[in-house]
Amino acid sequence: MDVSDYSPTDPQVLADPYLYYALLRRGPAAHYVEVDDLWVVSRFEEVGQAIRDPATYSSKALWALFGGVVSAREGARPDVRELAAQQPKSLIALDPPEHIPMRRMAAKMFTKRAVDGYAVMVRQICEELVDDMLERRDGGEVDLVEHFHHPLPVRVIADILGIDQDRRRDFRRWSDILINRLSGRGDSPADRADLKQMMEYFDVLITDRRRRRRDDLISLIISENEQAGDLLTDWDLFNFCALLLSAGNETTTNLLGNLFNAFFRFPDQLVRARGRDDLKPVVEEILRWESTVQGIVRLTNREVRVGDVRIPADAIVLLQTGSANRDESRWEDPERFDVDRPQLPHFGFGTGIHHCLGAALARLETEVATGVLLSRTAGIEPGAEPPARTANIILRGFRSMPVVIKPA
């Protein structure tokens, strides 16, 4: 195995990227992937420097993901700056100074104080979901993603946004399409029809909140936008809502799936986690060991030197946070999942100005969900069928995870 033919879009790499990450870390500070026409940066120090330098590394590169990285194989990549200019304002694809006022519009709902207020709701939802799982077990087996990992964050973000709980099946379908577009998929006629349906739903919701404000996130964003002089158009507002829905869903769903996959691979760590009152270190370790976000894409505003490598201007750069979080120069035995590992800052939620807005909420959901599930069960083991992973160069998680669950 070598990195001469490495590609982050290769299905073999997507299935298990960590051996490739290790090889990339041993090589030059930046590696050019000709087949995808992008650069990858894999070591902790260089990844951190790039993430914290938005003047050099632009977030506009997000738009290259919507078919751009994949279509580069056919030489059809669009001009990213031109494409970005045609798109609505997106929190994760904006640079300063535009990024700052948009982030402030939603930040009040995701402060530590605000998130602590969601704890009772999160625990109640978790208890209800475990009740449901224990009732629907077929021979003791149930799909953990379908019946626990996914519905939890959907119900939480629906409550925070102020949208109808009876549409949560639609939320999952819409979210899946948005996430698939990060890999150049999700653009079939059926997908476009679903996205049109989502736009129409949020359009009605935004119109309603303009007339009647409520104590929810959509009302807050509309009020903050008016106070800021209507920085966001209706199209921007729709895009903001879609981002919060998909990010609020995918982050925790994948984080929980990755955590229980780690428990199954390291059963001694599951035993140790069951014996703990404080699960915060467990959450931090899974964020390091297998974070939901494996990479961040950026567009270089100028030529830049990374180590001894020069990356040209207008290049797509994939900052591999999933690799940086296993850098041997920072962590001892980094390939091992260890719930008692001494804690060091990691890139599980990014860093700098684009540090995940919902990080505190995702941590709370994962901690409470894990505690409830472990306390309500005497055993959780892999089912007869293997789990099914998502295949995405940015996000890593599971679409299904059959398990045998035994009540406490």
Label residue 284 by pLDDT band (50, 70, 90): very high
Looking at residue 174, its pLDDT comes to 81
Looking at residue 183, its pLDDT comes to 59
Looking at residue 329, its pLDDT comes to 96
305 phi and psi angles, rounded to 5 deg: -100, 130
pTM: 0.91
Q: Which segment of 176-190, 256-270, 292-306, 341-355 scores lowest on mean pLDDT?
A: 176-190
Q: Specify the CATH number of the domain 11-407.
A: 1.10.630.10
Looking at residue 126, its pLDDT comes to 96
Looking at residue 69, its pLDDT comes to 52
* Average pLDDT score over residue span 313-330: 96
Q: How does DSSP classify residue 149?
A: I
- Residue with the bigger pLDDT between 173 and 49: it is 49
Contact between 6 and 20 under an 8 Å Cβ cutoff? The reply is yes
* Average pLDDT score over residue span 374-392: 91
- C-alpha distances in angstroms, 60 versus 73, 226, 229? 20, 25, 24
CA distance 28 to 263: 33
Is the pLDDT assigned to residue 70 strictly greater than 50? Answer: no
Looking at residue 23, its pLDDT comes to 96
Q: Which of 73, 71, 92, 67 is nearest to 180 (CA)?
A: 67
pLDDT tens digits for 133-170? Answer: 988 776 678 999 999 999 999 899 888 988 877 777 78
Looking at residue 187, its pLDDT comes to 67
Contact between 253 and 259 under an 8 Å Cβ cutoff? The reply is no
- Residues in contact with 332: Cβ distance below 8 Å, sequence separation at least 6, in sequence order: none
Hunting for tokens 């976000």 — which residue is that? 293
* Average pLDDT score over residue span 301-324: 96
Looking at residue 185, its pLDDT comes to 58
Is the pLDDT assigned to residue 216 strictly greater than 70? Answer: yes
- Residue with the bigger pLDDT between 302 and 185: it is 302
Looking at residue 107, its pLDDT comes to 87
Average pLDDT, the chain: 89
pLDDT tens digits for 46-68? Answer: 999 999 999 999 998 887 665 44
Looking at residue 71, its pLDDT comes to 47
Contact between 141 and 404 under an 8 Å Cβ cutoff? The reply is yes
Q: Which segment of 94-103, 114-123, 149-158, 242-251 scores lowest on mean pLDDT?
A: 242-251
CA distance 167 to 159: 12
- Residue with the bigger pLDDT between 236 and 348: it is 348
Label residue 321 by pLDDT band (50, 70, 90): very high
